[in-house]
């Protein structure tokens, strides 16, 4: 289901003609949640059918700039130079938030693997190549780690998940910042132990199918696929697992500016999960069709109200009330 064109339900030709079709594309990170939102919205609103294609944040932003969709979604928001290409203005709204986890596949499925903050950047840079490396083993005295090569699974496409993950690595590792750096795509090491897979579901499946693999994926995909997730050492030196509470603790450190774009690259606090992020929907401030603008404002309101109730059940973090208020006010700019 993930990462493919998602037609929310089957309509007869007659009823399809009566519905306003609204299309979107972009991030796979929030795809499971957005799919549920759009399905429920379309069920309750007989005048609209929302189609969303999860093809990655970079592709979604490009579709948005080219006006081939009515809205888009991106975990990397939009850069000022990208916004400048859209005539009439852009409205960027953080609609949900989530965590990026480091998933792994080891023989015997050992639970609770701990990864120090100076270790996991070096794994993803190809500097640590065996699972029984002393730097990993010393943090996991209770686990007998195998002498097994580490296979790193990374995104093949232009990805907001990669953007958030590599910005976090740049924030905690000078070697990473001066090496691969941060972006929706980066220059990964050239090695047969680095494998590329498309979208979050592709990385998840590859990790699950590859003994010795490690990869970065959105938390909802990890719990859906039942893959093992590492506990990561946060800025306070505590090992924290991803869940709703550790995500909320990280988001509580964020301060949204007027443009509603804020990053939580290395949050403070003992309970904060270190890789937590908002993810944005992108709308045209001036829409060619007023009826579509009205539907999109209603979609936003649904996401801020009923939609937030679904978030934690599906592995996402409900937005804080102050963020919801800011997003609701900004949504009025969609005209």
Query: pLDDT, tens digit, for every residue of 156-214?
Result: 999 999 999 999 999 999 999 999 999 999 999 999 999 999 999 999 999 999 999 99
Residues 137-153 pLDDT 10s: 999 999 999 999 999 99
The token pair that represents 72 in the structure block: 């888009």
- Mean local confidence (pLDDT), 82-110: 96
Within the chain, residue ranges assigned H as helices are: 13-18, 31-44, 57-65, 80-83, 120-124, 134-137, 160-172, 174-177, 199-209, 219-225, 244-251, 290-304, 306-311, 321-331
pLDDT band at 288 (very low <50, low <70, confident <90, very high): confident
Which of 3-7, 139-143, 255-259 has the largest mean confidence? Answer: 139-143
Where in the sequence of the chain do the CATH 3.40.190.10 domains occur? 5-98+275-331, 99-251
Q: Could you identify the residue written with the tokens 């579709």? A: 63
The percentage of the chain sitting over the pLDDT mark of 70, rounded to a whole number, equals 95
- Mean local confidence (pLDDT), 217-238: 97
Residues 42-52 pLDDT 10s: 999 888 999 99
pLDDT computed for residue 18 by the predictor: 73
pLDDT computed for residue 17 by the predictor: 52
> Cα separation of 68 and 85, whole Å?
14
pLDDT over 50 at 96, yes or no: yes
Q: Which residue has the higher pLDDT, 33 or 17?
A: 33
Q: Which of 80, 99, 135 lies closest to 276, judged by CA?
A: 99
- Mean local confidence (pLDDT), 233-249: 96
Pairing label, strands 90-104, 71-74:
unpaired
Gyration radius from the chain CA atoms: 20
CATH number for domain 5-98+275-331, candidates 3.40.190.10, 3.30.70.2740, 2.40.160.20, 3.40.50.300: 3.40.190.10
Average pLDDT, the chain: 93
Q: Could you identify the residue written with the tokens 């007989």? A: 46
In the CATH scheme, what is the code of domain 99-251?
Answer: 3.40.190.10
The token pair that represents 208 in the structure block: 């699950």
The percentage of the chain sitting over the pLDDT mark of 90, rounded to a whole number, equals 90
Q: Which of 47, 74, 48 lies closest to 59, judged by CA?
A: 74
pLDDT over 50 at 259, yes or no: yes
pLDDT over 50 at 13, yes or no: no
Pairing label, strands 90-104, 213-218:
antiparallel
> Cα separation of 124 and 113, whole Å?
16
23, 156, 169, 305 from 297: Cα distances, Å: 14, 33, 36, 12
> Cα separation of 217 and 199, whole Å?
9
pLDDT band at 6 (very low <50, low <70, confident <90, very high): very low
Q: Could you identify the residue written with the tokens 């592995």? A: 315
pLDDT over 50 at 1, yes or no: no
Q: Which residues contact 171 (CB under 8 A, 6 or more apart)?
A: 177, 265, 266
Residue 288 burial (CB count, 10 A): 10
pLDDT band at 19 (very low <50, low <70, confident <90, very high): confident
- Mean local confidence (pLDDT), 102-107: 97
pLDDT computed for residue 70 by the predictor: 97
- Residues found in the chain: 335
CA torsion sign, 187 to 224 to 245 to 28?
positive
- β-pair partners for 153: 195, 215
> Cα separation of 280 and 62, whole Å?
15
């Amino acid at each position: 289901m993930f990462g493919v064109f998602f037609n929310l339900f089957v309509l007869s030709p007659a009823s399809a003609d009566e519905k306003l079709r609204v299309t979107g594309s972009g991030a796979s990170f929030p795809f499971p949640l957005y799919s549920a939102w759009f399905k429920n919205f379309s069920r309750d609103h007989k005048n609209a059918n929302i189609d969303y294609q999860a093809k990655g944040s970079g592709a979604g932003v490009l579709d948005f700039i080219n006006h081939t969709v009515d809205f888009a979604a991106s975990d990397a928001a939009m850069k000022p130079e990208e916004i400048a290409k859209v005539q009439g203005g852009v409205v960027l709204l953080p609609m949900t938030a989530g965590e990026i986890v480091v998933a792994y596949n080891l023989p015997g499925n050992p639970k609770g693997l701990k990864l120090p903050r100076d270790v996991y950047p070096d794994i993803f840079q190809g500097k640590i190549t065996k699972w029984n490396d002393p730097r990993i083993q010393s943090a996991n005295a209770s686990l007998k780690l195998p002498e097994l090569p580490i296979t790193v699974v990374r995104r093949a496409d232009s990805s907001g998940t990669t953007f958030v993950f590599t910005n976090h690595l740049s924030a905690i590792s000078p070697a990473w910042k001066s090496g691969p750096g941060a972006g929706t795509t980066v220059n990964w090491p050239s090695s047969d132990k680095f494998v590329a897979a498309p979208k979050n579901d592709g990385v998840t499946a590859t990790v699950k199918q590859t003994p010795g693999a490690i990869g970065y994926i959105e938390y909802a995909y990890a719990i859906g696929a039942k893959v093992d997730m590492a506990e990561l050492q946060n800025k306070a030196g505590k090992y924290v697992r991803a869940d709703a509470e550790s995500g909320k603790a990280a988001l509580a450190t964020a301060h949204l500016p007027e443009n509603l774009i804020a990053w939580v690259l290395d949050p403070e606090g003992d309970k904060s999960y270190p890789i937590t992020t908002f993810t944005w929907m992108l709308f045209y401030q001036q829409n060619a069709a007023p009826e579509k603008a009205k539907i999109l404002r209603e979609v936003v309101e649904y996401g801020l109200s009923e939609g937030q109730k679904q978030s934690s059940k599906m592995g996402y973090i409900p937005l804080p009330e102050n963020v919801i208020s800011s997003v609701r006010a900004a949504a009025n700019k969609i005209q």
